[in-house]
Structure 1
């Protein structure tokens, strides 16, 4: 049992915590501290407003190494392109509903996806969260059910809550293990599939390009929710290529 736990603890380091557009460097440091408390160390920053900064190091306390080893990207799409499971934090209802879970349910999905899948948990800007386009890159949305009279959480508090739930589920992941015969398509592969389908729909005048309404959002939601595997993605891509040949 001890060896099993050591293996599980090591898996925590493979989970990316992605902070998007963080305004205050102190929040980066505090989030790094929350991560290290729960055994997470893979910090990703997307367009931070002020980084590197001594305040991030100061607020991180003993998690200085997490801050210093953080990787910076210019977009969420780039940061999660190789990930198989992407979970985005969301504090409000969307025009087109997306699969939404609470932190415990999200952590179970994370535990089921280890050790073979790359995982990212994406946290939005302090003042306005993630954009609809960024949330569209996610398979699931996670919502922390706080008191409606004062629902605002500090970024590091949100990281702490979700990191805690992930730690519990990953350490006990044998209860949630699931198997699949083929690797899941990662985010980049799924996005290419969606783009290919969009090309086909435009080629056959399936929708008005000037007024697509919510069609593409719903197509993206379908594929993200389904979490298709590589073979399924290739089947769709092959079908789309055959259609393109026929209509030329």
Structure 2
């Protein structure tokens, strides 16, 4: 399996069609081909095609979604880009580590790398739905990166991790970067969303959750744990058992 095909580049509410085209070019140079657009402000037009500079095929097969949740629903690892550092310390990851992690997790399922709006980035709600938050350690005095530059940088690190992984496999080496059990299965974002909804509904009924802040903390906790599918199923079973007990 070509692990690069598991990587989904997601652009949220892109303002300029040219940025979509430039993103496609940045992706194709690094071997990435799956582009997802969430409610783009402009459609893929002639300017997008012109700036794609030969990556028209990436644009032609781009998927368009109306909702952010739908764009990441089938992905089991979501990495959101963010320039906000203060509130995300526990989940920050830099591009090189992101590339290595993306390649390892691509063995189990689809990986989404999410880029926000050109001016304001991702909302807090969107960031909360990401397992990790990618931050580029730019010059503190001038850290301006345009959208396509950011995509190019991250795509490069993903390709380097893929090349290293491929080389190690060809050399029959077992000590791969970030070695982990490839039999482990991780839930999709859609499955996690159902679990969070189930949790909130039950805990509100029990009176444990009385304001939104509690659920936000629980979401951060579970996201940080990177629940495996078997663990998620166990938690869902526990919630169902509690519900049955209440009904009795």
TM-score normalised to structure 1 length: 0.91
Give, in whole Å, the separation in 2 of the partners of 1:201 and 1:194. Answer: 10
The answer as to whether partners of 1:98 and 1:141 remain within 8 angstroms in 2 is no
- Structure 2: tracts of 5 or more residues without a match: 169-175
The answer as to whether partners of 1:96 and 1:218 remain within 8 angstroms in 2 is no
- Give 2:220's aligned residue: 221
How far does residue 123 in structure 1 lie from its aligned partner after superposition? 0.3
The answer as to whether partners of 2:92 and 2:133 remain within 8 angstroms in 1 is yes
- Give 2:173's aligned residue: none
TM-aligned CA distance change 1:20 to 1:98, over 3 Å = farther
Give, in whole Å, the separation in 2 of the partners of 1:199 and 1:96. Answer: 26
- 1:48 matched to 2:40? The reply is yes
- Give 1:237's aligned residue: 236
Give, in whole Å, the separation in 1 of the partners of 2:58 and 2:228. Answer: 32
Match of 2:17 among 25, 43, 58: 25
What CA RMSD, in Å, does the superposition of the two structures yield over aligned residues? 1.5
TM-aligned CA distance change 1:234 to 1:189, over 3 Å = same
Give, in whole Å, the separation in 2 of the partners of 1:77 and 1:69. Answer: 20
- 1:118 matched to 2:110? The reply is yes
- Give 1:3's aligned residue: none
- Give 2:93's aligned residue: 101
- Give 1:247's aligned residue: 246
- 1:198 matched to 2:200? The reply is yes
List structure 1 runs of 4+ shifted beyond 3 angstroms.
Answer: 94-98
- Structure 1: tracts of 5 or more residues without a match: 1-6
Give, in whole Å, the separation in 2 of the partners of 1:148 and 1:96. Answer: 18
Match of 2:57 among 55, 61, 65: 65
1:13-46 CA distance string (max 9 Å, x none): 2210001110010000011100011000101110
Give, in whole Å, the separation in 1 of the partners of 2:31 and 2:88. Answer: 35
Match of 1:149 among 141, 149, 162: 141
How far does residue 94 in structure 1 lie from its aligned partner after superposition? 5.2
The answer as to whether partners of 1:190 and 1:223 remain within 8 angstroms in 2 is no
Query: What number of residue pairs does the alignment pair up?
Result: 237
- 1:178 matched to 2:180? The reply is yes
